Amino acid sequence: MIELQGVSKYYRSKRALNGVSLTLPRGKVIGLVGENGSGKTTMLKMLAGILIPTTGFAILDNNKITRRVASSVAYMPDTDLFYPYFTVKQLFEFYDSQYEDFNMKKAQEIAEYLVISLDAKISTLSKGNRGRVKIAATLGRDAAYYLLDEPFSGLDPMVREDIARGLIRFTDTEWQTILLSTHEIKEVEPLLDELIVLKEGQVLAHKEIDEIRDKYGIDATAWMISLFR
């Protein structure tokens, strides 16, 4: 499992996370939500080993998180970081050279499912199709943890639906965990087991989706709105 123990993160004088403690078990799909600037991206980068806590500890399977966690954590940033002159196939080959857990057959199957040509050059693709490529490359890894930063941002409803279906079809939640930050709560709620709400760098709430429905009698979107009110 992944744990954060009293984690704070400062960028000079600006505090992005403030004393965050939480546990992310294996075999769950977990939503990470909050207003812009609430600390979602900082948290994901910390779990991916890209950022180091200013105070506190980030732990993966009883080991301190460092950049070496890339061997078991697949992180997808919200920006495009691909070489534009790559074709989709060349991108997959690059991932295959970098990650031992990359499954070329699986990545190509995901690309086919998302209707992406392996011969397409990334620089020629629309934003929606680049989003599909990012998902195919990320889920092409057989990682224990997938950290997805705004995988639906700026994409049209059809693309979001395709990606949401792909998340379930091409992962095994018996042992794999997906943590995704999103503003599209309504569309991803059917996929989620748990929801974490951040506000001003702190965990405002961390609940199971079934508990929200059973205890409060409302959906996750309405529950989250009630928290901020």
Residue 29 or 68, more confident: 29
DSSP for 166-220, written as a single string: HHHHT--TTT-EEEEE-S-HHHHGGG-SEEEEEETTEEEEEEEHHHHHHHHSS-H
> What is the arithmetic mean of pLDDT over 20-31?
93
Q: What is the pLDDT of residues 37-88, one digit of tens each?
A: 999 999 999 999 999 999 999 999 889 998 888 888 999 998 877 888 999 9
Residue 162 or 92, more confident: 92
pLDDT number for residue 81: 76
pLDDT number for residue 160: 85
pLDDT number for residue 139: 96
Structural domain boundaries, residue 175: 2-228
Q: In the sheet that 14-24 helps form, which strands lie side by side, from edge to edge?
A: 14-24, 2-11, 55-60, 63-64
Per cent of the chain over pLDDT 90 is 71
CATH code for the domain in which residue 39 is found: 3.40.50.300
Distances (CA, A) of 159 to 4, 58, 84, 91: 33, 33, 21, 20
> What is the arithmetic mean of pLDDT over 28-41?
94
The structural domain count of the chain equals 1
pLDDT of residue 156 exceeding 80, the answer is yes
pLDDT number for residue 187: 80
Question: pTM score > 0.85 for this model?
Answer: yes
Whether residue 66 contacts residue 47, with contact meaning beta carbons closer than 8 Å, is answered with: no
pLDDT of residue 185 exceeding 90, the answer is no
pLDDT number for residue 229: 75
pLDDT number for residue 72: 87
Cβ neighbour number for residue 186 with a 10 Å cutoff: 9
Q: What is the pLDDT of residues 14-23, one digit of tens each?
A: 999 999 999 9
> What is the arithmetic mean of pLDDT over 89-106?
96
